[in-house]
Amino acid sequence: MRILLYGGSFDPPHNGHMNNLRAAAARVKPDKVVVMPAGVSPFKRGTCASGALRIEMCRCFSALAEEQAVPALEVSGWEVEQAERGRRNYTVLTLEMLAAEYPGAALYLAIGSDMLLTFDGWHRWQDILKLAHLVVTSRNIGDDPVLHEKAKRLDAAGARILFAPVEALPMASSDLRARLAAGERCENELPPLVRRVIQREGLYRENKGDNNHEPETGKGACAQPLE
């Protein structure tokens, strides 16, 4: 059994994420895809949408199953639950959980090119390579030579890092949040389900400063990492 894990803050998930997961699935042909919104990413200060809302928005990935680009797809709240219990999570722990839940399964981890370039800074990155194959998709046009050189340094045998051909769609959640705060709808970048949740909850609105007395846990608030 092949299981493909696709994690990230997904704050919000966008068509670039959809594009990369589609490409990664085409490369490894998994039996199951697990989309895993991060609780609080070790690499980021916090998230603007709550864990529950990011889980809801990630249901947009089900469209890939409907178009048969991926097989069975699960949106898992496991990392969000870990954060709610006061635990800071790392990718290696998620992979260990999946390895225990699916004994004997071959695990694959889909990551973007920017993540590969900093991969040796990840917590227990050598153990990640033992637990799973990396499936790398490019976020930027023309970065293949740099990525392949980095892969050789991380995995000299060339057996644990795979590349998924994909037409890069350069977009970032941080840029989309800024555009949404400025009043743009980002219809070309955000799946319909994601746009509906953003509109319903008033997410990513521009901070109104001292005149905004909305509580920190309310709409538009950013979740901060656990200390």
- Say if residues 176 and 49 touch (Cβ distance below 8 Å): no
Residues 146 and 125: their CA atoms lie apart, in Å, by 19
Contact criterion met (CB below 8 Å) for 173 and 9: yes
Angle of CA points 107, 111, 117, to nearest 5°: 125
Q: Which fold has domain 2-206?
A: Rossmann fold (3.40.50)
DSSP conformation class of 121: G
pTM of the predicted structure, to 2 decimals:
0.87
In this structure, the number of other CB atoms found within 10 A of the CB of residue 204 comes to: 22
Q: What are residue 8's phi and psi, to 5 degrees? A: 165, 170
pLDDT per residue, tens digit, the chain (227 aa), is 999 999 999 999 999 999 999 999 999 999 999 999 998 755 556 679 999 999 999 999 999 999 998 888 999 999 999 999 988 889 999 999 999 999 999 999 999 888 999 999 999 999 999 999 999 987 665 667 889 899 999 998 889 999 998 887 878 999 999 999 999 999 999 999 999 999 999 999 875 433 333 322 233 333 333 32
